[in-house]
Amino acid sequence: MAFFTSPDIPMMTKLLEVVYIIIGIICIYTAGRNLFDRENPSPWGTSLFWGSVGIVIAFGRWLPNIVNGSLILLMSASAILRLVKPGQNLTPTAEQTKARFEKIGMKIFVPALSIGVFSLIFALLGGNALVGTGFGVLVAMILLFAYSRDNRPKVFFDDAARFLSIVGPTSMLPPLLAVLGTVFTVAGVGDVIADIVGRIIPQGNVTAGIIVYALGMMLFTMIMGNAFAAITVMTVGIGAPFVLNYVKDPAAMVMLALTCGYCGTLLTPMAANFNIVPVAILDMKDKMGVIKNQILPAAVMIVFQIIYMILIK
Amino acid sequence: MEYIKLLGILIVVLGFALRLDSILIIVSAAFVTALVSGVDIVTLVETFGESFVSNRSMTIFILVMLVTGTMERNGLKEASSALIGRVKGATAGIVIASYGIIRGIFGAFNVGIGGVAGFIRPVLIPMATATVESKGYKVNDNHLEQIKGMSAGIENISWFFCQVLFVGGSGALLVQGTLANLGYDSELIKLAAIEIPVALAGVATGIVYYYLRDRRLCRKYYIKEK
């Protein structure tokens, strides 16, 4: 409590912590729902997953690192042992959504866009973008309640729990990959790669560095099927030693390298969610039918981005 | 023997390529890297905790889910299809291109409108094929296959290159975290701004390419029959 009453801590930091507490509560709510969900084949494992991550998100700031770390490993274990399952499916029927559309109509776009608008406004005014996201979500909830009194807090929480259960453990990949990146940095993995690559491309030739970094991101993403995993590895190994040290805006280079990775995502059957699952959902004959339609745009975009990166180096 | 430190990276690359469980790959890579680099187990667990807490920003999408599902419940999908339906004189290519623009705008605001299962199959494909049928033709099988491929393609292209415009999107947050590990500060708003040309070029490439491709396919399969 001292944290929230202390005058020394900036308002935005306190509000951000409130945002994390709400996120944690959503996870813990998801854990509770699944625990009492008779249709969930694995209520305990699912609750363990969402419960432990919820505690770390909500209260991690005040818990010792060893406790946070153990909870994250517990969360990982329940996912690895395949104990995390979606429960009861409460998706609204087409009749329900159609009836609501007839009542609300195009006004539904206002809450939909409010989240992004407030994130942007807060960021532009020098506040925290994530607090802006939270504010936008609040505004969206109030608008939705104004449109229809059926949209009560319980509906929002149930729908959030439903979506979280659908995305499942995969949704925790970005923070876990960031953790892995920290471990790589602590262990000095980047220096070793830099040493190897340094024998092929000389340090200081930024243009060559950019091309290798961008194409490497695309290629690694194609092999791994995941640009988020690739960016962690490529930035520690190639980005930092060959590009970041020599450019005006290192952050821009890493961000653009990520979208170079997305060109790789467009080209690989490894990114099954995007390229192979749609083939099945749409009953297509050619298993590579989606990828074939993406080859030209991906090629255009990788060239565009490499030129862009070289121009702003 | 410094090269043994690369074992963790090898695990990540092989693990993802062999489609093993993603979380298993990440945790094993972290443990193996710590083991071969002489980092003890307590320090490793503490690093897990400390790093996860400082990267909690990447879970902001959970907060957005408070309204995602409820907006779907309140007819967001129906409203989007009504919006595309307002485009006059549509061809399949124009329907796909309109969707690409709307998907891109929503992507930039971090809003999903159903994806392949929720929107493209039930709404977009029927709208695209209706443009052919309304001219009195039966939809050619290969044209239908290509309409499906292009629809899934524009979904991916618009979403990938426009989601990075959202200030506080998970991609930018991961980039910010990666930069912080290496000792660089970064601002989310600048990370979004740098992607504006990429997003515009990405959507433009996608919609122009698919529009032209559909026009060629239409000429090939329908006009000839006259």
Q: How far away is chain A from the Cα of B106, in angstroms, using its nearest Cα?
A: 7
Contacts of B151 in chain A (CB under 8 A): 282
Closest residue of chain A to B25, computed from CA coordinates: A80
Nearest-CB residue to B152 (from A132, A249, A290): A290
Contact A124 B53 (CB under 8 A): no
Residue A226, phi-psi category: left (phi > 0), alpha (psi -120 to 50), beta (remainder) = beta
Which carries the bigger pLDDT value, residue A257 or residue B126? A257
Interface contact B193, partner A, CB < 8 A:
no
Closest-approach residue (CA) in chain B for A301 = B202
What per-residue confidence (pLDDT) applies to A70? 97
Residues of B in contact with A176 (CB under 8 A): 23, 26-27, 52
- Min distance B127 CA to chain A CA atoms (Å): 14
Neighbouring C-alpha atoms within 13 Å toward the C-beta of A144 = 30
Contacts of B65 in chain A (CB under 8 A): 26, 159-160, 163-164
User: Could you tell me if A8 and A116 lie in one domain?
Assistant: no
Categorize the per-residue pLDDT at B134 as very low, low, confident or very high, splitting at 50, 70 and 90. Answer: confident
Residue B86 touches chain A, beta carbons under 8 Å: no
A303-310, Cβ contacts within 8 angstroms, sequence gap of 24 or more: A304/B198, A304/B201, A305/A214, A305/A256, A305/A259, A305/A260, A305/A263, A305/B198, A306/A210, A306/A211, A306/A214, A306/A215, A306/A260, A308/A256, A308/B197, A308/B198, A309/A210, A309/A214, A309/A252, A309/A253, A309/A256, A310/A207, A310/A210, A310/A211
Answer for the pair A121, A132: CB distance below 8 angstroms, yes or no: yes
Residues A214 and A300 both lie in one domain: yes
**A57 & A33 share domain:** yes
Residues of A in contact with B69 (CB under 8 A): 156, 158-160, 162-163
Give the predicted TM-score (pTM) of the model.
0.83
Give chain B positions within 8 Å (CB) of A113.
109, 111
A192 in the same domain as A305 = yes
pLDDT digits over B206-215, tens only?
A: 999 999 999 9
Instruction: Tell me the DSSP string of A220-231.
Output: HHHHHS-HHHHH
The CA-based angle A58-A27-A63, given to 5 degrees, is 25
Smallest CA–CA distance, residue B136 to chain A, in Å, is 24
- What pLDDT score does B1 carry? 60
Buried b (16+ CB within 10 A) or exposed e, A255-273: bbbbbbbbbbbbbbebbee
Q: Name the more confident of A143 and B119.
A: A143
The answer to whether position A239 is within a domain reads: yes
d(CA B89, CA B91) in angstroms, rounded, equals 7
CA distances from A1 to A4, A8, A17, A20 (A): 5, 14, 12, 15
pLDDT tens profile B19-32: 888 899 999 999 99
Do B160 and A304 count as a contact with CB atoms less than 8 A apart?
Answer: no
Residue A59 shares a structural domain with residue A126 = no
Q: How close is the nearest chain A Cα to the Cα of B65, in Å?
A: 5
Are A26 and B63 inside 8 Å of each other by CB?
Answer: yes
If asked whether residues A224 and A201 sit together in one domain, one would say yes
Q: Is B161 on the interface with A (CB under 8 A)?
A: yes
Min Cα separation B135/chain A (Å): 24
Tell me how close the Cα of A307 comes to any Cα of chain B, in angstroms: 11
**How high is the pLDDT of residue A194?**
75
Minimal Cβ distance to B27: which of A66, A76, A187: A76
Residue pair A224/B17 in contact (Cβ under 8 Å)? The answer is yes
pLDDT of res. A38:
87
User: A313 with A210: CB under 8 angstroms?
Assistant: yes
Alpha helices in chain B (DSSP H): 7-17, 22-36, 41-54, 60-73, 76-85, 92-108, 115, 125-133, 141-163, 170-181, 188-194, 196-221
Looking at chain A, which residue has its C-alpha nearest residue B194? A252
Q: Is A11 exposed, middle or buried (0-12, 13-18, 19+ CB in 10 A)?
A: exposed
Going from the C-alpha of A131 to that of each of A112, A257, B87, the distances in angstroms are 17, 27, 37
**B6 contact A CB<8A:** yes
| Contact at CB, B9 and A69, closer than 8 angstroms | no
* Percent of all residues in chain B with a pLDDT value above 90, rounded to a whole number: 55
Distance from CA of A112 to the nearest CA of B (A): 6
Q: Which residue of chain B comes nearest to A187, CA vs CA?
A: B37
Cβ of A305 and B46 within 8 Å?
A: no
Q: What is the ipTM of this complex?
A: 0.86
Q: Which residue of B has its CA nearest to A124?
A: B189
Q: Let me know if residue A301 belongs to a domain.
A: yes
In a domain, A220, yes or no: yes
- Cβ separation of B149 and A289 shorter than 8 Å? yes
Largest CA distance in chain A: 66
Q: Residue A41 belongs to what domain range?
A: 2-80
Residue B22 distance to chain A (closest CA, Å)? 8
- Counting the structural domains of chain A, the total is 3
B131 vs B206, which has greater pLDDT?
A: B206
The identity of residue B120, as a single letter, is I
Q: Based on the number of CB atoms within 10 Å of its own CB, is A89 exposed (0-12), middle (13-18) or buried (19 or more)?
A: exposed
Across chain B, mean pLDDT equals: 90
User: Tokens 């010792």 label which residue?
Assistant: A64
Residues A197 and A116 in one domain: no
- pLDDT tens over chain A, length 313 residues: 678 888 888 888 899 999 999 999 999 999 999 999 888 999 999 999 999 999 999 999 999 999 999 999 999 999 999 999 988 777 888 888 888 888 888 888 898 888 888 888 888 887 788 899 899 999 999 999 999 888 999 999 999 998 888 888 888 888 898 888 888 878 887 778 778 877 877 777 899 999 999 999 999 899 888 899 889 889 988 898 889 989 999 999 999 999 999 999 999 988 888 998 899 889 899 989 999 999 999 999 999 999 999 999 8
List the single residue in A180, A285, A292 with the smallest CB-CB distance to B29.
A180
Mark whether A193 and A306 lie in a shared domain: yes
In this structure, are A209 and A279 located in the same domain? Answer: yes
pLDDT of residue B122: 82
Mutate to test the interface with A, among B14, B174, B186, B196 (most CBs of A within 10 A): B174
From chain B, the residues in CB contact with A60 under 8 A are: 49, 52-53, 56
* Most A-contacting residue of B23, B44, B146 (CB-CB within 10 A), to test interface: B23
Same domain, A100 and A76: no
Residues A250 and A205 in one domain: yes
pLDDT band at B226 (very low <50, low <70, confident <90, very high): very low
Residue with the bigger pLDDT between A49 and B79: it is A49
**What is the count of residue pairs from A and B with beta carbons less than 8 Å apart?**
451
